[in-house]
């Protein structure tokens, strides 16, 4: 019997993983089992088990990974400190007067909360409780109300501190600081595009989202102190990373400390603090488990030589590089219909990244593009995780209505990705300031 070459084993492993994931097995289990089996098949039991066994420890003690729990903790402390409601109230008083004012306010409030959250699903869950009831009180179209919260939650994937940008940086071994800075302008631009589409639709059909008027300038300015915690965290993280006097982990820890002090000042109880710490631990363990399992699989792919073979094949295609990038992004859109964002990145980037670099594209630019695709996948049926989160908090709004509500935002996101491809400097402007 002829022994299979490593590349064939790698391709069989990829196929097996896709089948197992589609059968409903969790990504970290499927990836870990297939990766271990592949390593054993190629290099034997002792070497395969030895390599797989060292990954959890070697990757857990990586300094770069320590930024994740810091960013996650910032979000949960901010939520339990009641900062969310303050941000929404300020946004309502400043932007409520435009057509679809409450929905526009929700977009900017979710963008603000994203700057201290870093987790899309957490943002969607929080604003399902805060914003949807207020919109429904004013007879907003419930599809718009649910859709804007689901779509607004995705902004946390780009606006720093973003957990998924950190994961991208870890996988491809790029600068966390540069990626966080690169995500800021695209994230803010995405929020502005959302606000324009909401306002435009509400101007054409005022019954969809009536404006909220009657706030005085005194009331508006009085609402601004409630946004100071978020502004402080943004200033700390950006100034620390931009100036170089602190690593992203240091900046995250300092941001978490500032939010903790604000939470204590606002009267956070020990019970709320305990809940924030437990929720941070749960989400951190979940993310680390995915990283461990998938990195075993990635090590298997490395031994199989699949990333190099794929990169050589892609760079040898007789078509413009931009068309290849577009095809890769379409593949991400399809894959994202059935997988969560973190698992999708961890499984695909070890193969796709060398090809992108081989085509001559900037890895920081591609990181923002691919994370934007993850945003799109968070609101794309049938998985559309943010839509399920909104439905879980508001079961009175049918899932079908939520998916209809996100349709305009989905179109906005596609157009925004096209803009990023056509004008890379939108993404690279802030990172290039550091390099220069």
Q: Quick one: average pLDDT of 313-323?
A: 81
107-140: pLDDT as tens digits: 988 888 877 766 677 788 888 888 888 888 888 8
Domain count, the chain: 1
Q: How many Cβ atoms from other residues are within 10 Å of residue 360's Cβ?
A: 8
Mean pLDDT over residues 367-376, rounded? 88
Confidence of residue 64 (pLDDT cuts 50, 70, 90): low
Does residue 420 have a pLDDT over 90?
A: yes
Instruction: Work out the average pLDDT over 44-50.
Output: 85
Task: Assess whether pLDDT exceeds 80 at residue 245.
Answer: no
pLDDT confidence of residue 383: 67
- Give the pLDDT mean for 140-159: 88
Q: Choose the weakest-confidence range: 159-163, 271-275, 396-400.
A: 159-163
DSSP letter (8 states) at residue 4: P
In a domain, 31, yes or no: no
Structural domain contains residue 30: no
Give the model's pLDDT for residue 2.
47
Alpha carbon distances (Å) from 308 to 322, 336, 352: 20, 24, 10
In the prediction, which pLDDT does 339 show? 67
Q: Which of 110-124, 293-307, 319-333 has the highest mean pLDDT?
A: 319-333
Non-local CB neighbours of 259 within 8 Å, separated by 6+ positions: 74, 77, 78, 81, 83, 116, 229, 233
Does residue 285 lie in a domain region? Answer: no
Domain of 322, in residue numbers: 63-268+305-435
What would the mean pLDDT of 324-332 be, rounded to a whole number?
Answer: 86
In a domain, 8, yes or no: no
User: Residue 3: its pLDDT value, please?
Assistant: 65
Q: Is residue 189 part of a domain?
A: yes
Q: Which of 77-86, 181-190, 205-214, 385-394 has the lowest mean pLDDT?
A: 77-86
* Nearest of 163, 96, 180, 84 to residue 124 by alpha carbon: 84
CA 401 vs. chain centroid, Å, equals 23
Q: Which of 37-46, 107-116, 237-246 has the lowest mean pLDDT?
A: 237-246
53 is a domain residue: no
């Amino acid at each position: 019997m002829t022994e299979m070459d490593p590349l064939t084993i790698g391709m069989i492993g990829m196929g097996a993983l896709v089948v197992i994931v589609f059968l409903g097995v969790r990504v970290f289990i499927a990836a870990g089992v297939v990766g271990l089996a592949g390593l054993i098949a190629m290099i034997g039991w002792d070497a395969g088990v030895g390599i797989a066994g060292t990954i959890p420890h070697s990757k857990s003690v990586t300094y770069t990974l320590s930024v994740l729990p810091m960013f996650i903790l910032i979000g949960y402390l901010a939520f339990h400190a009641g900062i969310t409601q303050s941000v929404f109230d300020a946004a309502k008083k400043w932007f409520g007067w435009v057509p679809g004012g409450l929905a526009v306010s929700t977009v900017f409030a979710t963008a603000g909360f994203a700057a201290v959250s870093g987790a899309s699903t957490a943002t969607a869950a929080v604003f399902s409780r805060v914003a949807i009831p207020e919109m429904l009180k004013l007879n907003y179209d419930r599809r718009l109300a649910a859709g804007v919260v689901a779509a607004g939650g995705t902004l946390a994937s780009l606006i720093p501190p973003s957990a998924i940008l950190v994961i991208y940086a870890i996988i491809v071994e790029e600068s966390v600081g540069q990626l966080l800075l690169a995500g800021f302008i695209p994230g803010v631009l995405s929020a502005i595009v959302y606000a324009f589409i909401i306002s435009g639709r509400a101007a054409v059909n005022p019954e969809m989202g009536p404006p909220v008027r009657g706030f005085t300038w005194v009331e508006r300015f009085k609402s601004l102190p409630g946004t100071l915690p978020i502004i402080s965290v943004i200033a700390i993280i950006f100034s620390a990373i931009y100036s170089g006097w602190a690593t992203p982990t240091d900046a995250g820890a300092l941001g978490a400390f500032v939010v903790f002090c604000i939470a204590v000042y606002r009267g956070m109880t020990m019970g709320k603090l305990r809940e924030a710490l437990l929720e941070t631990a749960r989400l951190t363990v979940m993310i680390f488990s995915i990283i461990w399992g998938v990195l075993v699989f990635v090590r298997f792919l490395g031994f199989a030589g699949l990333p190099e073979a794929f990169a050589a094949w892609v760079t040898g295609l007789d078509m413009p590089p931009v068309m290849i990038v577009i095809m890769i992004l379409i593949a991400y859109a399809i894959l994202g219909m059935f997988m969560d964002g973190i698992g999708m990145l961890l499984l695909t980037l070890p193969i796709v990244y060398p090809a992108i670099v081989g085509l001559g594209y900037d890895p920081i630019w591609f990181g923002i593009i691919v994370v934007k695709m993850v945003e799109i996948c968070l609101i794309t049926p049938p998985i559309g995780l943010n839509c399920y989160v909104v439905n879980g908090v508001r079961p009175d709004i049918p899932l079908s209505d939520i998916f209809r509500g996100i349709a305009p935002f989905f179109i906005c996101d596609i157009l925004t990705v096209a803009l990023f491809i056509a004008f890379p400097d939108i993404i690279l402007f802030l990172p290039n300031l550091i390099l220069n």
